[in-house]
Amino acid sequence: MEGKIKIKLVRSPICTPEKQKRVVKGLGLRKLNQVVERPDTPVFRGMVKKVPHLLKVVE
């Protein structure tokens, strides 16, 4: 059984490159301070590593 990670959008992706906006959207984040729960897999970990300045992993 895989664990879960909670990801929070802490900075706006407005002035970021289109690729980074797509990563944020792919994680299912739309609003600032929104928290989503995703499976703790290498796929989602990699997405978080692409935009660490916009996201925060919440415990």
How many angstroms separate the CA atoms of 15 and 45, rounded?
23
Q: Does residue 1 register a pLDDT over 70?
A: no
Inter-residue contact 27 to 10 (CB < 8 Å)? no
pLDDT band at 45 (very low <50, low <70, confident <90, very high): very high
| pLDDT, tens digit, 9 for 90 and up, residues 15-35 | 999 999 999 999 999 999 999
Q: Which CATH number fits domain 4-29+38-58: 3.30.1390.20, 3.40.720.10, 3.30.70.20, 3.40.50.300?
A: 3.30.1390.20
| Domain regions of the chain by residue span | 4-29+38-58
Q: Does residue 40 register a pLDDT over 90?
A: yes
pLDDT band at 59 (very low <50, low <70, confident <90, very high): confident
**How many CB atoms lie under 10 A from the CB of residue 40?**
14
